[in-house]
Amino acid sequence: MTTNNNPLRGSLTRNTPASQQIRRISFDLGNSCNLGGVNNNCNGNKGPLLSHSTTIQLSPSMKKLRLIEISTVIILGLITILVVLHNGPHSHNNNDDNIGNIVELYETDSYFATPAIITDEFFSTNNNNEPPPPTKLYSLQNAITSTQLSNINSQNVHPYQPYEKGTICSCNISTLRKIKMIPCAIISHTIRPSSKLVVYQISYLNENDSLVYDNLPFSRVQRRRHVELLNQYDSMPLEGDIS
């Protein structure tokens, strides 16, 4: 009779009781030194044949879900980087005393001086800490249109001074939400003590060329800088003037 070296079947027969068969199978599974009849040179040390390390195979649906999660994280990271690059690094000023103040917004050659309200102030920062020094920037709300303006250089933001009598302006005379700007002139101004709101008495010509008087808050009056611009142009030397 041929001897079967399989540790699971070598000494098992149909007549072997089930309890002995289970004990024999358990013994052979726990003895890794005689696997399949081959001596593994364990030097008498019997180690467990089964290992705790397992490999988990993900189903196609699980793989797809995992890829979606990874893609979402990457997209959110890219969006954050783009926002930072667009706005630039800012260092907010701890002194927010200017927030809520009324200012005038205009550049050197702007025809109008637009009233605005400061909503935030901060400094642009240089990553390398090299000159030039940080620039003061503002976030503003256009008082006439209520639009938000961001990253406005401080050199274009000027202190607001109530307009004197005779100042030529453009006034929003619309009684609806629409804006209707027409030329007007300042007659006088008052400042309400409680709210510090500047209110102007103005005059303008209506469609019938009749002189009309009205009272308007600062948020509906925009100063024209044509006199300042004329003075500026008059001071510029003419081409070819060597004097």
Tell me if the bond preceding 131 is cis, omega within 30° of 0. Answer: no
pLDDT tens per residue across span 30-45? 444 444 444 445 455 5
Pick 228 or 104 by higher pLDDT.
Answer: 104
Element (H, E) at 74: helix 60-87
As beta bridge partners, residue 221 has: 171
- Give the integer Cα–Cα distance in Å for 77 and 75: 5
The percentage of residues in the chain with a pLDDT greater than 70, rounded to a whole number, is 56
Residue 229 has pLDDT above 80, yes or no: no
SS3 60: helix
pLDDT of residue 106: 96
Q: Identify the pLDDT of residue 110.
A: 93
Q: 241: which strand partners?
A: none
Q: pLDDT for 70-112, tens place per residue?
A: 777 677 666 655 544 444 434 444 456 789 899 999 999 999 9
Judged against a pLDDT cut of 90, whether residue 200 lies above it is answered with: yes
Strand bridging mode 102-105 / 112-124:
antiparallel
Are 118 and 103 in contact by the 8 Å Cβ rule? The answer is yes
Convert the pLDDT of each residue in 129-176 to its tens digit: 666 677 899 999 999 999 999 999 999 999 999 999 999 999 999 988
pLDDT bin (cut points 50, 70, 90) of residue 177 is: confident
